[in-house]
Every structure is written in C-alpha cells, then in structure tokens.
Amino acid sequence: ATPSAVLAAIGAGARRGVLIRGGEYLEACSKIDTVVFDKTGTLTLGDLHVTKVVPFCGRTVEGVLRVAAVAEAGSEHPVARAILDAAPEPGSHAADATEMHLHPGGGIEARSGEARIVVGSARLLALTGIPLPEEARAVRDTLAASGVTPVFVAVDEEVVGVIGLQDRLRPESVEVIERLRREGIETIAMLTGDHEVVARRVAAEAGIPEDAVYAGLLPGQKQEYVETLQTGGRTVCFVGDGTNDGPALARADIGVSIGSREDTVALETSHVVLMRGGLAELPDFLRLGKRAARTIT
C-alpha cells in the first residue's frame, strides 16, 4: 500500500469509530488467516447476572452472596459486578475486606477480620489449598450443563456455596463469524477462562466448532495459544475485551479490542480498538485493510 492509501484508510476508520494505532496493522489485514476470539465480554455481552445460588454448611442464599460480595468489592470483573448487584445491601461492602488479592482468570482472595474468603474457579480453590467437596462439584456440573458459569465461595478452607452466573451472546456474534468465514478466514477459534461445558455451549451458539474451543485458560495461556498458531505459520487476529486477555491482544499480529466503558488495559495493549460499533465493525475493518493494501496509486 502507498502511504497515502494507508493514511486515507486510517482516516476512514476513525470516522467510523475504529482506532487504528499504526499502518502496519492495516497492512497485516490481507495476511490474516486465523481469527481467535475471547469469550466473556467479546462474543458475549459480559453483562453477567446471578441466576442461582446454592448454599452449603447451613448457610443461606443471602449469607453466601454477602460473604462473596465482601471479597468482590475490590474487583471490576463482570463476575464481581454481578455478585455485588445481587448481594443484600449493595455498595456497603467496600469497607469490610482487607488484604485483597486478585487471581486473573481465576477469581479473588480476601481477608475479612479473621476469615479468609476465596471466590472463584475450581482451579483457584486448588491453588489456595481448599478441598472441593463432591456436593459442590455436582452443583457445578449441573449449572455448567445448562450454560451457567459456576463460581465457588469458600470461607476458611470450607466451600460454603456455589453461585451461578448467566451471560448472553452478543446479538451480532453469529453474523460476524459467518461473514469472516465467507470472506475467507480459514480458522476461527474461541478462548476462555470459563468452564469447558459453558464455553462449548456459547461457541455452538456463535457458530464455532467444538474442536476450536479452549477453556479454563489463564491470561498467559491465551497468549501461548496465539504464539503456537504463529509458530505453525498462521497470521492471527485476536479479538478481546481487555479483561484477562491483554497478553494475547499484544502478542497477536493484530490485537483488536472491543471498546467499552473503563477498559484502559485494552487501550494500552491492543492495536486496533472498535470504539463505536464494537464487534460488528470487525469484518469491515479487515476489509478496509485489505483494500488499502491493494491500492498502488
């Protein structure tokens, strides 16, 4: 592409709310053969709601939500926002926790008085040395089978409840994926830190085959997956929302983030930001780059 074609394309992108951070990312568009999506907040709305709470050990639903909210008060994750919304007396938990420790892609650990609270995935329980009782495992499997994301709540080594959260596919996801296939993208995959069964359901709805779904991944493992594809000769566009996928966005040949409210991480680590139209702008952005590359006068 000529410099003037690149400049014109960057300008055309800007008018549509597509921020392109350099001509090289437009040039790369015509080489992209693989598009990898993050799940939560990217293919889905990331607008989670608590749909089910199963308490154990003589606790109540409210009690489980309250203790989870104490730990989550310090997190911006969609899971945290949903729990804080569902908990009794929303907004009054911020003062309760001390020593908060975030585990990206896993959950959160906090201290409240003498108690240690852990809220997160089975992997986080294992990591923090909390045994997962058969009863809690069974609840998790039932929730996941119906497409609900399970999150465990533990107090002092004891799992006191499971919280189920529901997300929705973005209305535009199916069409965007169809269009990418029509326009010649060979491989489309989805990566997520969520439970495998939930991940497969979302992928099926979006039109992504089971063998292209990778679940239970930490942020670093999303990046490694992108690297593996690149080592295998692929040119990769990674599409994410900046939550727990910053390293993958940065590593991709083109890291595209969906612009949203407070995502400073995405702005820093991605190469292209779909500020206004969001995910729906992705196919047009790739086409814009291809067209600019063909312009020789």
What is the binding site for Mg ion (CB under 5 A)?
38, 40-41, 241, 243
Closer to ligand ADP by CB, 59 or 195: give it.
195
> Which of 13, 35, 50, 120 is in the footprint of ligand ADP by CB under 6 A?
120
38 is catalytic: yes
String of contacts with ligand ADP for each residue 33-52, x by CB under 6 A: -----xxxx-----------
Could you tell me the smallest distance in angstroms from the CB atom of residue 282 to ligand ADP?
A: 17
Closer to ligand ADP by CB, 80 or 273: give it.
80
- Cα distance between residue 36 and residue 113, in whole Å: 43
The single-letter code of the amino acid at 287 is R
* Nearby residues of 292 by Cβ (< 8 Å), 6 or more positions away: 1, 5, 6, 8, 9, 26, 27, 29
Closer to ligand ADP by CB, 29 or 84: give it.
84
Contact call for residue 197 and ligand ADP (CB under 6 A): no
Beta-strand relationship, 107-112 and 98-103: antiparallel
Judged by beta carbon distances under 5 to 8 A according to partner kind, the member of Mg ion, ligand ADP, none in contact with residue 119 is ligand ADP
Helical spans, DSSP H, in the chain: 3-15, 23-27, 61-72, 78-86, 122-127, 134-145, 173-182, 196-206, 219-231, 246-251, 264-269, 282-294
Q: For the chain, what is the radius of gyration of the CA atoms? A: 21
Nearest to 192 by CA among 225, 152, 233, 159: 225
* Token couple for 116: 């240690």
Contact call for residue 170 and ligand ADP (CB under 6 A): no
Nearest to 197 by CA among 240, 238, 160, 143: 143
> Which of 34, 67, 75, 214 is in the footprint of ligand ADP by CB under 6 A?
75
Identified catalytic residue from 38, 194, 241, 253: 38
Contact call for residue 223 and ligand ADP (CB under 6 A): no
Contact call for residue 108 and ligand ADP (CB under 6 A): yes
Closer to ligand ADP by CB, 28 or 130: give it.
130
Count of residues that interact with ligand ADP, criterion CB under 6 A: 23
With tokens 């069964």, the residue in question is: 197
> Is the CB of residue 249 less than 8 Å from the CB of residue 255?
yes
Contact call for residue 194 and ligand ADP (CB under 6 A): yes
**Binding stretches for ligand ADP (CB under 6 A):** 38-41, 72, 75, 77, 79-80, 105-108, 119-121, 149, 151, 192-194, 243-244
